[in-house]
Amino acid sequence: MANQRILERTARTKWFNEARFGMFIHWGLYAIPARGEWVRSVERMPQEEYLRYFKEFSPSQYEPRKWAKLAKKAGMKYAVMTAKHHDGFCLWDTGLTDFKAPNTPAGRDLVKEYLEAFRAEGLRVGLYFSIIDWRHPDFPHYRDRQHPMRDNQAYDNKNRNFDRYLEFMHGQIRELLTNYGHLDIMWFDFSYNDMAGEKWKASELMEMVRSLQPHLIVDNRLEGSGENSGTILTENPTPWAGDFACPEQMIPPEGIRNELGDPVPWEACITLNNHWGYAATDRHWKPADMVVRMLVECVSKNGNLLLNVGPDPKGRIPRASIEILETLGRWMEDNSESIYQCGNAGLDKPEWGRFTRNGNKIYAHIYEPQTGGICLPNLAGKIEKLRLLAEGSEIKIADYWNLAEYKQHAFFFLNSHSFDNYPLPDPIDTVVEITLTP
Ligand code: GLC
């Protein structure tokens, strides 16, 4: 029997499991060096050196409404933007540090504008909040696993007061949950070594979160990370186990279930190139058809896709990202019924693509033409009708002589003049809606 915390998690994540598709936005000072959001750690950059970007940050072309329209057109139902990344730079008008966007030449509360813009386009809104803070003087420096000054003994931890850091961290989260209206997601990042769970005073933090915004869903990184899901996979999750798991830069081979075998809400967070934050020289963009198929794969395994964009120093989403999302949007315009409110079909993965399902509708996502008809294994006699989802046109179940020996399966052709299905109506992913007989 699922315990109370699992029942509450299931109720809170209903919209999330139906939405299936969101935009991740990694943006901040690190867009200027343009070598990814870990540039301070990777290059062991002192804060003083990093401050030159603070003095320069002036995103003259930041128009979050454009971002929101792009996300909506791509078929995304929610968004999560970095309020603060590991560098400690705050994109909102926090009262707890001067290291914030309003104090840069930008002179704006970037979070406020993001939230207003995405809500105006009808998307749900979330914030990414780094529980790691490389700027804060009370956060461990020397010998920390990844702090920029981890190798420099001059930055030893003698006079650091971690409780004072936690007061600051909890205070900032309270600000975001109090001063910015209804939020839908808080995306914490991340725990490591002994820096996990109650080290962050996670039970106190979650009491505050649940009291301020009881509907809010939280990821699992108050105790986990991209390499460890934590107790969300157990039958007795901790109060800070989170409402969904977040595999990173991969899609779990069989989705995610807990030790009872019950599905756990999950969301794969994946970049369009190989960086979260803007990286000027990283032109290794995933092709649009691969991104469509990533989304279908997540849904076919009862999961979500949180697809990342990394805006540049001026506040523009890179043109290559826009082009991929626009192609995605055209496919979603025709086929979003096979994504929203869909999940695992309860069928083996077919040779030609994948299945998703919503009640008595199964969606065949066809990536490869199959000679001799597309085979729907063991579905003979169980199908009321087939329709090409993009247009609603009828597809007839085939009863050709050459299929006579395979009566337990159903077959269909996507064109009536040949024994193959080439070319597919949509080479990215042709979706056929299968209505099962009652
Ligand atoms: C990892 C990275 C972090 C990124 C996050 C996104 O934790 O360290 O930079 O924001 O993944 O999931």
- Whether pLDDT at 219 is above 90: yes
Ligand 1 lined by 78 (C-beta under 6 Å) = no
- Which tens digit of pLDDT belongs to each residue from 280-322? 999 999 999 999 999 999 999 999 999 999 999 999 999 999 9
Task: Supply the DSSP symbol for 413.
Answer: -
Domain 353-436: which topology?
A: Immunoglobulin-like (2.60.40)
- Whether pLDDT at 433 is above 80: yes
- Whether pLDDT at 2 is above 90: no
- Whether pLDDT at 18 is above 70: yes
- Distance from Cα 189 to the centre of ligand 1, integer Å: 7
pLDDT at 371: 87
Nearest to 47 by CA among 124, 146, 149: 149
Fill in the amino acid letter for 395: I
Reported as a pLDDT band with limits 50, 70 and 90, residue 167 is very high
- Whether pLDDT at 3 is above 90: no
- Whether pLDDT at 85 is above 80: yes
CATH architecture of 2-338: Alpha-Beta Barrel (3.20)
- Distance from Cα 113 to the centre of ligand 1, integer Å: 23
- The alpha-carbon radius of gyration of the chain (Å, integer) is 24
pLDDT at 415: 79
Q: What percent of the chain has pLDDT over 70?
A: 99
pLDDT at 417: 67
- Which tens digit of pLDDT belongs to each residue from 100-153? 999 999 999 999 999 999 999 999 999 999 999 999 999 999 999 999 999 999
Residues in contact with 412: Cβ distance below 8 Å, sequence separation at least 6, in sequence order: 373, 374, 376, 386, 395, 396, 397, 398, 432
> What are the boundaries of each domain within the chain?
2-338, 353-436
Ligand 1 lined by 226 (C-beta under 6 Å) = yes
Ligand 1 lined by 248 (C-beta under 6 Å) = yes
Note the residue count of the chain: 438
- Distance from Cα 247 to the centre of ligand 1, integer Å: 11
- Whether pLDDT at 39 is above 70: yes
Q: What percent of the chain has pLDDT over 90?
A: 95
- Which tens digit of pLDDT belongs to each residue from 320-367? 999 999 999 999 999 999 999 999 999 999 999 999 999 999 999 999
Among protein residues, the one whose CA lies closest to atom 5 of ligand 1: 189
Reported as a pLDDT band with limits 50, 70 and 90, residue 421 is confident
Of the ranges 2-16, 70-84, 280-294, which one carries the lowest mean pLDDT score? Answer: 2-16
Q: Could you tell which of 189, 219, 220, 244 is best to mutate to test the pocket of ligand 1, judged by most ligand atoms within 8 Å of the CB?
A: 189
Phi, psi at 282, each rounded to 5°? -90, 95
Nearest-atom index, ligand 1, CA of 130: 10
Residue 4's CB is within 10 A of a number of other CB atoms, namely 8
pLDDT at 419: 75
Q: Could you tell which of 276, 278, 308 is best to mutate to test the pocket of ligand 1, judged by most ligand atoms within 8 Å of the CB?
A: 276
Residue 248's CB is within 10 A of a number of other CB atoms, namely 17
- Whether pLDDT at 268 is above 90: yes
Ligand 1 lined by 239 (C-beta under 6 Å) = no
DSSP 301-357: TT-EEEEEE---TTSPPPHHHHHHHHHHHHHHHHHGGGTTT-B--SSPPPTTEEEEE
Q: What does the pLDDT average to over 200-222?
A: 98
